[in-house]
Amino acid sequence: MKNELKEWVSRVPKAELHLHIEGSLEPELMMSLALKHGVELPYSSIEEVRSAYDFHNLQSFLDLYYFGASVLRDEDDFYQLMYAYLQKCREDNVVHAEIMFDPQTHTQRNIGFEVFMPGFARAIKQAEKEWGQSCLLIMSFLRHLSEESAMQTLEEARHYLAMITAVGLDSSELGNPPEKFERVFAKARAYGLKRVAHAGEEGPPAYVWGATKSLAVDRIDHGVRSIEDAKLVAHLVKQQIPLTVCPLSNTKLKVFGHMTEHNILQLLEHGLVATVNADDPSYFGGYLNDNYFALIDHLPIEKSHLVQLVKNSFSASFLPEKVKQSWLAKII
Ligand code: ADE
Ligand code: ZN
């Protein structure tokens, strides 16, 4: 039975809505780019890199994630990073991906939009041409940095707005509430950009309220802690604000002690538009299908739940309505 469910998940077309491109940097590429650029890494083998990925909370992961990204230096590095993820999409039948990138992780190291955007664009065009991959980009601000830095990043992105669909908010959640970025998100909205924000991953339901009220988000990234506040759940259901849930991330970062404790089925039972996503697949042990498989292995999940989750991935996407409908019709 579990195998049948896994086979169905593998072959059905899916969308992925919460994926950090820097979090898809596999140890093999990290080590080859370190060699190319003469960057010293504190690891002597791929196995050593993987065994360092043992996290106790979000910050312990972020420290390694920003460090890993330091090997990304030139246009071709960003091309290789993006093309490798898009090939995973092809393997997993992820027909549409909404991909986050963190410009400040690179601009802080004097690597500008003129380096990473052409690299991303080249990979995206190639995947579109080679197998019809659909994707769009979400520019995410690092919330541990200042409002001023986010505002400056938004201005630096102005030449590239045609390539960017939405803005997001990620990095260290606790102590950096959404309200800090109210003016940045208002400006992004005025530029015609959609809005998403990480909230309710480690932070309390108040941060999810903050993201909906102060940032006028179209989606919440994670949001699993919303369930602690019944009024918030009712609000998210009424407004149909989707949650991009990341099961392997949540267990790796100890948001839940074990996959058997994950609350995704309760989220669905409340009528929330929950979706399944990989977040940072190279750090958390799996791409999109592996996240569905983990749910199948550890929760009393049925085909109807999986159908709902896959349908939600399209209805919660930023695809045009007609395109959404044509994918939705294929999920049976
Ligand atoms: N950046 C990359 N992955 C993240 C996550 N899960 N939470 C916050 N910031 C992130
Ligand atoms: Zn994330």
How large is the average pLDDT for residues 76-95?
A: 99
* Per-residue pLDDT reduced to its tens digit, 128-162: 999 999 999 999 999 999 999 999 999 999 999 99
Biggest CA-to-CA distance, the chain: 53
For 195-264, the DSSP string reads: EEEEESSSS-HHHHHHHHHHS--SEEEE-GGGGG-HHHHHHHHHTT--EEE-HHHHHHTTSSSSGGG--H
Which strand (E) or helix (H) includes residue 165? strand 164-170
How remote is the CA of residue 244 from the centroid of ligand 2, in Å?
9
Per-residue confidence (pLDDT) for residue 169, from 0 to 100: 98
C-alpha of residue 13 to centroid of ligand 2, in Å: 22
Between the CA of 83 and the centroid of ligand 1 the distance, in Å, is 21
Sign of CA dihedral 188, 316, 138, 253: positive
User: To which residue do tokens 């739940």 refer?
Assistant: 305
Please choose, from the candidates 10, 9, 13, 17, the residue with its C-alpha nearest in 3D space to the C-alpha of residue 222: 17
Q: Whose CA is nearest to atom 10 of ligand 1?
A: 171
pLDDT, residue 313, reads: 99
- Other C-beta atoms closer than 10 Å to the C-beta of 283 total 27
Residues marked as catalytic = 201
Mutate to test the pocket of ligand 1, among 139, 142, 201 (most ligand atoms within 8 A of CB): 201
Q: What is residue 12's predicted lDDT score, i.e. its pLDDT?
A: 98
Ligand 1 atom closest to residue 102's alpha carbon, by position in its atom list: 1
Question: From ligand 2's centre to the CA of 1, what distance in Å?
Answer: 31
What does 56-72 look like in DSSP terms, one character per residue? SSHHHHHHHHHHHHTT-
pLDDT of the residue at 92:
98
CATH 3.20.20.140 fits 2-327, yes or no: yes
pLDDT band at residue 85 using 50, 70 and 90 as cut-offs: very high
Domain boundaries, the chain: 2-327
pLDDT at residue 204, as a whole number: 98
β-pairing verdict for 219-222 and 14-20: unpaired
Using alpha carbons, select from 166, 163, 229, 153 the residue that is nearest to residue 197. Answer: 166
Q: Ligand 1 pocket, 18 CB below 6 A?
A: no
At residue 225 the predicted structure's pLDDT band, cuts being 50, 70 and 90, is: very high
The CB of 58 under 6 Å from ligand 1? The reply is yes
The answer to whether the CB of 247 is under 6 A from ligand 1 is no
In 3D space, the residue among 197, 83, 89, 184 whose CA is nearest the CA of residue 138 turns out to be: 197
Q: From the CB of 103, is ligand 1 less than 6 Å away?
A: no
Probe ligand 1: pick from 141, 174, 198, 249, max atoms within 8 Å of CB? Answer: 198
170 Cβ inside 6 Å of ligand 1: yes
Decide: 24 in ligand 1 pocket, CB within 6 A.
Answer: no
Provide the pLDDT for residue 328. Answer: 98
Query: How high does pLDDT run on average in the chain?
Result: 98
Query: β-pairing, 194-199 with 219-222?
Result: parallel
Residue nearest to atom 1 of ligand 1 (CA): 171
Residue-level pLDDT at 311: 98
What six digits make up the tokens of 59? 């910050």
pLDDT for 158 equals: 97
Looking at all shown ligands, the one closest to residue 248's CA atom is 1
Beta strands in 74-218 (DSSP E): 94-101, 134-142, 164-170, 194-199
Over the stretch 248-260, which tens digit does the pLDDT of each residue have? 999 999 999 999 9
pLDDT score at 308: 98
pLDDT for res 208: 98
Q: Read off the pLDDT band of 218 (50, 70, 90).
A: very high
Point out the ligand 1 atom lying closest to the alpha carbon of residue 253: 6
What digits encode the pLDDT tens for the residues 159-208? 999 999 999 999 999 999 999 999 999 999 999 999 999 999 999 999 99
Mean pLDDT of 113-129: 98
Helix H or strand E segment including 169 = strand 164-170
Measured torsion, CA atoms of residues 294, 15, 278, 119, in degrees rounded to the nearest 10: 150
